[in-house]
C-alpha cells in the first residue's frame, strides 16, 4: 500500500531563516512525489513534483525539494522564509504504474513564519 507521513503537524520559523517541511513515503515501487500548498479557505496549489532524474527539484515561490531514495524522503525546503509562506503544506505520492489518478496525501504540516 502507498502512504505518506508528514511527521510534524506544525513548523515555526523566523522570517529570513531557512525552512524544512518533512515528508517520508512508502511505496513498493518507484514513486512520483508532489508538494502542494493550501492558503486559508482556498484550494490546494501545486508547488513541485519529482518524477525522475535530478534529486533536487525546484518549484514555485522559491521552494525546492530533495528526493532521497535510500531514506524514502522528499523534504520541502526554502533558503529564506517569508511571512507570506505561512500556510498548510501537503506531500503526496503515487506509485509508478499504479491506477491512474490515485494520489495519496499526507496529513499536512502547518507552517508559520513569524516576522
Partner 1 sequence: NAGVTQTPKFQVLKTGQSMTLQCAQDMNHNSMYWYRQDPGMGLRLIYYSASEGTTDKGEVPNGYNVSRLNKREFSLRLESAAPSQTSVYFCASSEFETSGIYEQYFGPGTRLTVT
Q: Which residues bind partner 1 (CB under 8 A)?
A: 4, 9, 32, 34, 36, 41-46, 49, 51, 90, 99-103, 105-108
Shortest distance in whole angstroms from residue 77 CB to partner 1: 19
Shortest distance in whole angstroms from residue 11 CB to partner 1: 16
Q: Which residue lies nearer to partner 1 by CB, 48 or 113? A: 48
Shortest distance in whole angstroms from residue 101 CB to partner 1: 5
Shortest distance in whole angstroms from residue 55 CB to partner 1: 17
SS3 31: strand
Q: What DSSP string runs through 33-88?
A: EEEEEE-TTS-EEEEEEE-SS-SEEE-GGG-EEEEETTTTEEEEEESS--GGG-EE
| Distance between start and end Cα atoms, the chain | 41
Q: Which residue lies nearer to partner 1 by CB, 58 or 102? A: 102
Question: What is the 8-class DSSP label of residue 29?
Answer: S
Amino acid at each position: 500500500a502507498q502512504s505518506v507521513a508528514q511527521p510534524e503537524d506544525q513548523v515555526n520559523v523566523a522570517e529570513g531563516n531557512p525552512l524544512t517541511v518533512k515528508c517520508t513515503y512508502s511505496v513498493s515501487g518507484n514513486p512520483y512525489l508532489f508538494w502542494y500548498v493550501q492558503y486559508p479557505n482556498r484550494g490546494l496549489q501545486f508547488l513541485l513534483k519529482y518524477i525522475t532524474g535530478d534529486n533536487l527539484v525546484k518549484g514555485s515561490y522559491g521552494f525546492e525539494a530533495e528526493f532521497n531514495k535510500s531514506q524514502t524522503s522528499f523534504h520541502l525546503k526554502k533558503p529564506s522564509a517569508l511571512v507570506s509562506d505561512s500556510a498548510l503544506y501537503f506531500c503526496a505520492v503515487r506509485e509508478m504504474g499504479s491506477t491512474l489518478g490515485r494520489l495519496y496525501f499526507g496529513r499536512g504540516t502547518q507552517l508559520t513564519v513569524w516576522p
